[in-house]
């Protein structure tokens, strides 16, 4: 958050976030992918796709290597 975004309520720019994250060696894209992977895993991928403006198939890519034990309980 900067003084400008604090007073105007505008979102932070990706460039500003990249500058903050650079010393830690983390990219904005990596944070977004991690957040999406977590949300898609714990929620319905179709709802996540609609909320983030993604195609349904794009949200399903974040489910790779995920096993929901509740869905496998009856097998």
* pLDDT at position 53: 86
Can you list the pairs that 34-40 forms with residues at least 24 positions away whose Cβ atoms lie under 8 Å?
A: 36/62, 37/62
Tell which residue, 39, 73, 29, has the closest CA to residue 59: 39
| Within-domain flag for 40 | yes
16: pLDDT strictly greater than 70: yes
pTM of the model: 0.51
Domain count, the chain: 1
- Residue 36 forms part of a structural domain: yes
Does residue 33 belong to any structural domain of this protein? Answer: yes
Is residue 47 included in any domain, yes or no?
yes
- Tell me the pLDDT tens digit for each residue of 20-62: 888 988 888 888 788 888 888 788 888 888 888 888 888 888 7
32: in domain: yes
């Amino acid at each position: 958050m900067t003084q400008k975004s604090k007073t105007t309520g505008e979102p932070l720019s990706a460039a500003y976030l990249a500058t903050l994250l650079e010393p830690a060696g983390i990219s904005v894209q990596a944070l977004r992918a991690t957040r999406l992977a977590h949300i898609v895993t714990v929620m319905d991928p179709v709802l996540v796709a609609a909320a983030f403006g993604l195609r349904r198939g794009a949200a399903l890519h974040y489910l790779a290597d995920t096993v929901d034990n509740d869905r496998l309980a009856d097998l």
